[in-house]
Structure formats: structure tokens, C-alpha cells
């Protein structure tokens, strides 16, 4: 078969078009530093990248929840520590003012201090984290503890837990029922608010002997309230450890998934530059061959 000038021109044109497209691909890889810029670049690799990104989104959701859970536990622990310090101060005041030789004026002054402590404890028991009441159980939009005119504190919250989801269907449940912290919902529990109220009443009693009996009667409940708060704080440690360990595991898994995505998606820029140079040389060689074989008019057109 006779090869005509037209056939050769088409051959060179096709070769130049393919080389131009290959150079564009390498230039894009160098610019984006990505080997896969569209699914057609590597359908199988693009599928793996999409699967990896979906896995990362799930991991990020759990990681965010774990970080929020750690912040919630830290907030709980700090709040309980502050309340524990206040209860200890109240107990020491009760021990001091129940002794003999304490005047009515001294007790009245101490009563003012204890009332301030009771107010602070109530405020902390109604603490909010991220706009939600911490100790209200499943009811997060209203203060869980309300004090009436007689100084009695009532729980208006509900039962409930703060749940932190973990991968694999696990979860960490943080007790959010304020009665288990500050009242006698648990077996053998102490109603801290009642103890502080009774301490104020004993300190304000004008009958010093009767007041002494009242004050001494709340020392043991306050000691138990301190222990109650310590026990609830102790619950935080294993929960925090579990969240920490899970978070570290997620970080390792996330790094492995990101590395796998990078192996499929990221370009070897140095190799892409070499390939681009080789393609440019091939392109120039094709043009040179065309200039020798084809008529000048066509070569000029191709240039």
C-alpha cells in the first residue's frame, strides 16, 4: 500500500496530539502535586481514595466526639473539686463553731459565710457546659436545682447520662443525674443542700446550746458529702483514660488511612518533572521528523 503525504500528516498529527495531552497531564500533576486529579486518571485508585476519605470522615466524627467528651469530663472534675473545697470549708467551720466559748456574734458571722458557700454550691450544681446544664440528666435546658423561700433545694432535672460514642458501637456514659452527686438518690447518699441549710440554722440559733447540737449534727453528713464527691470524681479517671486511649488509637488509624490515600493520590513531583522533560524531547523530535518528511507548508501549520 502506498503511504501518501496525507496519511503521514495524520500520523504525525495524532502523535503530536497524544504527546501534547501527556505533557498537559504531567504539568497538571506538577501544579497540583496530585497523581489523580479526576477519576479517569486512575479509576481503581480514585475509588480507593474516595473510600479512604469516607473512612476519614467517620474517624473525624468520633475524634471530635472524644475531644468533647474529654472536655466534659475535665469540666465535671473541676466543678466537683470546687464544690468539694467549699464543703470542706463548711465542715471545718462547723467543727470550729461547735466548740465551747464561741459567741453568738461569731456564729452569726460564720452563718453568713456558710450561706455564701451554700449559694456557690447551688450555682456550681447548676453549672452549664456548651450551653447545657451538666447535672440535669436528660433535661439540659433548665436549671436542675431550685431553692424555695425556706431554703429547701428541689431537683427539677431528670435521670440521664452524657453519652460519648466510640468506634465499634462502644460508648462512655457519664452520670448526669445531679441527685447522685449532691442529694441522697444513691444508697447511703447525703443531701448536701440540706446539710448546709441545717448548718446555717444551727449557727443562727440564739440558743447556743441548742445551736451546738444542731451544728455537731451536720459534721458527719458533711464528711460523707465530701466522700460522696470524691467518689464521683474517682469515676472520671477510668473514663478519661478510656477516652485518651481511644483517641490515640484513632490518631494512629487516621494517620494510616491518610498515608494510604497519599500513596494513591499524591504525585511524585520529581518523577513528573523528569517525565515532562522526556515528553518535551519526544515532542520536539516528532516535530523535527515531520519537518524533514512532510512538505514545508504542512510543517509550518503543525508548528
Question: How do residues 44-65 score in pLDDT, each as one tens digit?
Answer: 887 887 888 888 898 899 998 9
Cα 6 from Cα 295, distance rounded (Å):
10
Cα 67 from Cα 60, distance rounded (Å):
10
Q: Do residues 157 and 139 touch, judged by C-beta distance below 8 A?
A: yes
pLDDT tens across 235-259, in order?
888 998 999 999 999 999 999 988 8
Phi-psi region of 146 (alpha: psi -120 to 50; beta: other; left: phi over 0): beta
**Does domain 68-255 sit in CATH 1.20.1330.10?**
yes
pLDDT tens across 119-156, in order?
999 999 999 999 999 999 988 889 999 999 888 999 99
* pLDDT at residue 186, rounded to an integer: 60
- Is the per-residue pLDDT at 299 higher than 90? no
Percent of the chain with pLDDT over 70: 84
Average pLDDT estimate for 23-37: 70
- Cell numbers standing for residue 114: 456558710
- Hey, CA dihedral for 42, 44, 45, 47, is it positive or negative? positive
pTM reported for the whole predicted model: 0.74
Count of beta carbons in the 10 Å neighbourhood of residue 85 = 14
- The lowest-confidence range among 86-100, 121-135, 186-200, 202-216 is 186-200
Q: Any idea where the domains of the chain sit in the sequence?
A: 5-54+266-302, 68-255
Amino acid at each position: 500500500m502506498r503511504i501518501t503525504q496525507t496519511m503521514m500528516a495524520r500520523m504525525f498529527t495524532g502523535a503530536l496530539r497524544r504527546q501534547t495531552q501527556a505533557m498537559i497531564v504531567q504539568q497538571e500533576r506538577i501544579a497540583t502535586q496530585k497523581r489523580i486529579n479526576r477519576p479517569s486518571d486512575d479509576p481503581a485508585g480514585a475509588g480507593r481514595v474516595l473510600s479512604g476519605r469516607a473512612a476519614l470522615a467517620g474517624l473525624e466524627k468520633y475524634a471530635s466526639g472524644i475531644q468533647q467528651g474529654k472536655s466534659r469530663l475535665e469540666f465535671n472534675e473541676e466543678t466537683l473539686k470546687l464544690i468539694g473545697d467549699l464543703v470542706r470549708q463548711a465542715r471545718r467551720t462547723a467543727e470550729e463553731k461547735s466548740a465551747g466559748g464561741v459567741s453568738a456574734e461569731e456564729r452569726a458571722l460564720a452563718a453568713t459565710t456558710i450561706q455564701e458557700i451554700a449559694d456557690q454550691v447551688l450555682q456550681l450544681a447548676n453549672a452549664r457546659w456548651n450551653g447545657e446544664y451538666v447535672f440535669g440528666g436528660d433535661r439540659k435546658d433548665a436549671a436542675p436545682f431550685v431553692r424555695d423561700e425556706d431554703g429547701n433545694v428541689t431537683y427539677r432535672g431528670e435521670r440521664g447520662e452524657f453519652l460519648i460514642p466510640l468506634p465499634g458501637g462502644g460508648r462512655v456514659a457519664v452520670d448526669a443525674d445531679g441527685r447522685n452527686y449532691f442529694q441522697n438518690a444513691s444508697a447511703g447518699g447525703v443531701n448536701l443542700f440540706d446539710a448546709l441549710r441545717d448548718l446555717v440554722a444551727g449557727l443562727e440559733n440564739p440558743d447556743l446550746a441548742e445551736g451546738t447540737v444542731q451544728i455537731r449534727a451536720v459534721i458527719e453528713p458533711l464528711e460523707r458529702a465530701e466522700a460522696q464527691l470524691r467518689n464521683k470524681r474517682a469515676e472520671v479517671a477510668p473514663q478519661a483514660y478510656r477516652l485518651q486511649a481511644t483517641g490515640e488509637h484513632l490518631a494512629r488509624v487516621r494517620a494510616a488511612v491518610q498515608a494510604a490515600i497519599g500513596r494513591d493520590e499524591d504525585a511524585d513531583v520529581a518523577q513528573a518533572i523528569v517525565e515532562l522533560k522526556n515528553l518535551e524531547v519526544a515532542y520536539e523530535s516528532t516535530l523535527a521528523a515531520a519537518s524533514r518528511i512532510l512538505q514545508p507548508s504542512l510543517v509550518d501549520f503543525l508548528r
